[in-house]
Structure 1
Amino acid sequence: MALVVAIIGILLYKRHMRIVEAQEHLRKELEAILNSNNGDKAAKVFTGKEIKKATNNFSRDLILGAGGYGEIYKGILDDGTVVAVKCAKLGNTKGTDQVLNEVWILCHVNHKSLVGLLGCCLELEQPIMVYEFIENGNLLDHLQSPNTSDRAQLSWNRRLQIARDTAEGLAYLHFSAVPPIYHRDDKSSNILLDVKLNGKVSDFRLSRLAHTDMSHISTCAQGTLGYLDPEYYRNYQLTDKSDVYSFGVILLELLSSQKAIDFNRDSDDVNLAIYAKRMADEEKIIDVIDPILIEKAGPLEIDTMKALRFLALSCLEERRQNRPSMKEITEEIEYIICIASGKAVEN
């Protein structure tokens, strides 16, 4: 019996030491990232005392969300700034790599449509990331709210603005970031809405840095069911057009207020992209649009809804070569917004 207890004790000690070593490795890597911005956006190193004070010692009353990534708390810094504090869950090397990946990317990008990283804390047991606080949660929750007044708050013009915000953020990653960045998990739950309901792209744990001299990145397919580019899934070839496919699904969600995957639909229509394509083939695409939008829509709004539906379906083309770029998508959405607002559009 004593031998069994001793063996268990040794195993637990080794496990503890592995965790300690992993935490120390992560701390050093994060410190290196934060100290090597080379003139990019500055990220602060917070003390453990500051973080505990901001979150009232990680009060359960301040939890905003929790999942496989860890827990997110609402916090208030000494200067009154409201922040979101993410306590990353580290169970394996993969989780550590995702934390490092997100911090590196957010320290090297700067765009109004991307959620900002304010800094990190390296003193506590878990790595802590501090983000700007986005007041209105995520787009998915708004679109799926059982309260119709919540959905009605997202008017057609507001949905177009959110589409443009998201497209601009992704286009920035693809064309302005150096090196280019493929988000790899753009979906409605990763689009946060600020106090004015502007959209901001979040969650860069799965994102990958691209190489300008390569047509694709060879990597195992990762992402979320319903948004995953089928060509990427089949060939393990990640490109900017993989993000475009996912964005096409987001456009369908904005149009329909339906889920990307919904087992309450008929078995052939569980996937929203497949369902929308079928309805388009049967010339019933108007049946896909959220009834709340249709009720208040005039002929001009209906035309712009059809235009956005056409854009969404072009993003969902089976072959990536046939999909538009995020830059082209941004321009098209801007054009649709001009029509919807009744502004003259230059040729």
Structure 2
Amino acid sequence: METKPELLHFLVALLLCAGFAMSLTSCPDCGNTTVPYPLSTASGCGDPSYKIRCSSGSLIFDTLNNSYPVESINPQSQRLVIRPASLISNTCITTDKIHQGIQLNNTLPFNITSGNTIMYLNCTNTLLQSPLNCSSTSLCHTYINGTGDATSCKDTALCCTFKAGGSSNSYQIRVRDVGCSAYSSFVNLDPAWPVNRWPEPGLEIQWVSPREPICGSQADCDGGNSTCGSYPSSNGIRRCFCNSGLVWDPINGTCAEEITCQNPGGCGSSTDHTALIAGLTCGLAAALVVSAIALLLYKRHKRIKEAQARLVREREEILNASGGGRAAKLFSGKELKNATNDFSRDSLLGAGGYGEVYKGILRDGTVIAVKCAKLGNAKGTDQILNEKAIDFNRAADDVNLAVYVQRMVEEERLMDVIDPVLSNGANTVELETMKALAFLALGCLEERRQNRPSMKEVAEEIAYIISIATAKD
């Protein structure tokens, strides 16, 4: 039988389309909602690290111990919005309080963005020690007084507002008895809007750009566009790396053509070097800025070292001034931690107005008493030195300062780590501003890059903090 050319062309086109469709790994639609790459609703599509669920035609996002409906997905910005828990009828308690609110798994590639404005409802007085805005003029009061959704919260205790994202809010919106019993969240909320123009409650979550798909053999890859292989630093994991001239597109999950020309008029013999000059200028400016920052950090580090050395000398002189000919010994923080079993509560002998006293045993068996001045209490330190006891600064060089500050934040004792020179005599607005800036700085110390706020977000947050402080003044 003779095959007509038109039919042959149609069959070839159909085969090409089929091959292209097979190379895509996006999951099928869930009801009327498109599931973009890398989100995965089944084992055979998407990236298994980006798992969500499709249940009865609706997408569900699972946290560590609860589930939330997915309201919308933006594949270009790699973000999705989930619907927060609602209030229990006639109470000011959210239905997910039994799960301590929204708790994301920090080993997965999802985290809460800074585009969320959180309203904490029905809070205890412990929140007054946080940098949250718990004043009577906070946006949270505007919310509970202007909507029927939270009328049951009008007569409750404190009501606070804050922007999520960064630091301790990258993976959780926590509700509990010692804190707040309810919350609500709004994405990209303009505080100038009246409540009747606010969007529906939602919590925005972003995902990290996925790597190339993992493969076991070349058959798992698109043969024409990618090759199954591994890099020396990949720990033996093989991936479908794009072939020469192609680059990995994490949004569409494909190998796309690498475009290096940025000139709309063509790249042949163009003599317009504006883009090149602009790029070089920006690069040089960035290098100068980085160099200046590095120099300032070096000088600051040098000053700190010199101050620490001077402090050690001064304390040695104080301790030796009346030592009866016997030289005093300065112990390191590590030695004192070992002697007191890391300052365990079992070693605590007592506490006073200037600090706590612990029983310790040195490596040679000598029993000692270790008196710790409260952080920032200069009088306590002087008293300890005058008594010839052992001085211990819990923020010494051999202790990770970032970890220490993180612990103080979790224990809601942030003010304990702020320099007394700044906090003494500061008014309420100044203290709140210092707390807010400290929380922001802590977000920049996140270990995972995707959890740290961008420079734009830092600038916006600083501007937001300053605007609040200025308005209160």
With the length of structure 1 as denominator, give the TM-score of the two structures.
0.25
Please state which structure has a larger fraction of its residues in strand: 2
Please state which structure has a larger fraction of its residues in helix: 1
Q: If you compute each CA radius of gyration, which structure gives the higher value, 1 or 2?
A: 2
